[in-house]
Amino acid sequence: MSSQLHNGELFPDLVIDIVGGGTLAIPRDLGGSYVVVLFYRGSWCPYCCAQLAAFSRASERLAAAGVTIVALSVDDEATSKALVDKLHLGFPVGFGANADNIAALTGAYVAESSAYLQSTGFVLDQRGRILTAVYSSGAIGRLVPDDVAGFVKYVDAHRDATQEAPFKRDEESA
């Protein structure tokens, strides 16, 4: 496992396949909004399902606060689509993640034999920088929507004017 990411660092480029077709480049395609990135263990994990369902129920409230949600697991597309349908998830859900590659990029924990990612959550600012990261080495310990909503409200209330520019990679801004 590589080292874990720290607050203030730019989230690494991560392109994921999403349920329903297409790809999503995190954070590039989500610039201009806060972003919650959730790595979940799989559709079989009751804690993960509870977390995803909670974010789904809070998605309108979070969107009103300028927050975009995206989730990702190692599950295949059919399994991920079934989960999206079952939980009525209205946010992008990525599938087919390579646990070792994601761990190398982000420092997320992986299960034995690299079978899946452990629960990991990030809150990114509008420029793709990490505001907070929650790493779990097992089934419990994860971001919850109420904490994200309160945290984003706090950040907005204390934001410096220089932080308001939308996301741009350093090489794009040159």
- Domains, the chain, in order of start with CATH, read 32-136 (3.40.30.10)
Burial label, 17 (beta-carbon count in 10 A; 0-12, 13-18, 19+): middle
| Predicted TM-score of the model (pTM) | 0.89
CA angle 56, 60, 63 (to 5 degrees): 105
Q: What is the pLDDT along the chain (174 residues), one digit of tens a residue?
A: 468 999 999 999 999 999 999 999 999 999 899 999 999 999 999 999 999 999 999 999 999 999 999 999 999 999 999 999 999 999 999 999 999 999 999 999 999 888 999 999 999 999 999 999 999 999 899 999 999 999 999 999 987 644 544 444 444 443
| Residues 6+ positions from 171 with CB-CB distance below 8 Å | none
